[in-house]
Structure formats: structure tokens, C-alpha cells
């Protein structure tokens, strides 16, 4: 149903529409704002509406990683906000306290640890990836972490070095395919 915010401002406010050119997709009582008035934006809203499983991005903590609640220069609070806008939940996982990645983690983010991981942490990350989990390593220089252990034993390889922020390189790690 099309709603003209000029003719029905109350309904537009209820849907969170603040400007012309905003689309909201509603399926079964669940509403999702489109990322834009393009086919991709509207289709993405349909897909998010139809998904019933909660998607959770888990951020590792305990070894000096960048934190999702830190609003400072080194923090990831803006990423947390953006993930929320895309209907992802976020949580912090301390692998020192419990060397196990929770089952509800859709993806695991290891964001710039300042200390090497001990073997129980490395083993937890390896098991998560080996069991089909998705992991993203965001590494600050110098590139240390026991990541070499994770990469060597977990079938991961460094695939690219990318620049982020103020000329700070990061590391992209991806799983090698057999064959």
C-alpha cells in the first residue's frame, strides 16, 4: 500500500518516515525500512521481513579487541549501530571466560586484539569455523595474534591487505577450499 506522507502524516510518523522517498515494507505485521528507493533497497527490506531467524554478530573480547560499545576513535559503536539498522543483533563473547562460541552467533568478529590468544581461544575459533561458522578478522599492525596458528590449523589464508581509516592496514582471512 502506498502512503503519501503529506496526505497521511500520522501513518507516516508511525512508520518512522521522516522524508519523501522513504519506503517501508510490511509483511505479517513486521515492518522494515528499505535502504533506498531502488530495487536492491526494497528487495533487501522484503528479505529482512521474511527472515524469521535472528541474525547475531558476535564480537570477541578479552584480549584487547576493539569493543562494540566504545564510542571513541578505536571503538566499533558505529558498526554496532549500522548492524542494528540492518536487523542484526550484536553481542560480546569473552573466549577467556568460556572458550566456546555461542550457537546463536551468525558471524564472529575478531577486531584488532592487542594480545595473542591462548590455545583454548584459538581452538574455540577454529572449531567455530570448522563447523561452518563465519569469522572476520580485523587486524591492527603489527599482525600478531596467534592468527598464524588459526590460519595454519584452520585452513584459513590471508587473502588481502586492505587500508582502513588513517592508512591503517587490516587483514582479510578466508577459508581455503579443498581441491
Mean pLDDT of the chain: 74
The sign of the torsion formed by the CA atoms of 118, 96, 130, 74 equals negative
55-175 adopts what CATH topology?
Answer: Rossmann fold (3.40.50)
Please classify residue 83 by burial: count the beta carbons closer than 10 Å to its beta carbon, then call 0-12 exposed, 13-18 middle and 19+ buried: buried
Instruction: Kindly state the helix (H) or strand (E) to which residue 126 belongs, with its residue range.
Output: helix 119-130
pLDDT of 141 > 50? The answer is: yes
**What's the average model confidence in pLDDT over 86-109?**
90
Q: pTM score > 0.95 for this model? A: no
The answer to whether the beta carbons of residues 113 and 60 sit under 8 Å apart is yes
What is the DSSP annotation of 141-158?
SS--SSHHHHHHHHTEEE
Question: Which secondary structure element, helix H or strand E, spans residue 55, and what is its range?
Answer: strand 55-61
Domains of the chain: which residue ranges? Answer: 9-50, 55-175
Amino acid at each position: 500500500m502506498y502512503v503519501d506522507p503529506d496526505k497521511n502524516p500520522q501513518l507516516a510518523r508511525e512508520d518512522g518516515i521522516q522524508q519523501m522517498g522513504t519506503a517501508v515494507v510490511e509483511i505479517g505485521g513486521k515492518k522494515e525500512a528499505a535502504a533506498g528507493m531502488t530495487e536492491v533497497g526494497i528487495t533487501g527490506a522484503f528479505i529482512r521481513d521474511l527472515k524469521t531467524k535472528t541474525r547475531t554478530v558476535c564480537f570477541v573480547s578479552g584480549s584487547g579487541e576493539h569493543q562494540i560499545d566504545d564510542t571513541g576513535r578505536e571503538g566499533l559503536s558505529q558498526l554496532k549501530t549500522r548492524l542494528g539498522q540492518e536487523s542484526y543483533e550484536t553481542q560480546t563473547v569473552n573466549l577467556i571466560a568460556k572458550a566456546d562460541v555461542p550457537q546463536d552467533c551468525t558471524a564472529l568478529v575478531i577486531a584488532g586484539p592487542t594480545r595473542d590468544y591462548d590455545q583454548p581461544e584459538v581452538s574455540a575459533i577454529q572449531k567455530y569455523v570448522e563447523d561452518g561458522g563465519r569469522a572476520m578478522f580485523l587486524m591492527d599492525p603489527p599482525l600478531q595474534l596467534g592468527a598464524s596458528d588459526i590460519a595454519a590449523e584452520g585452513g584459513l589464508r590471508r587473502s588481502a591487505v586492505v587500508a582502513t581509516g588513517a592508512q591503517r592496514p587490516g587483514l582479510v582471512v578466508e577459508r581455503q577450499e579443498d581441491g
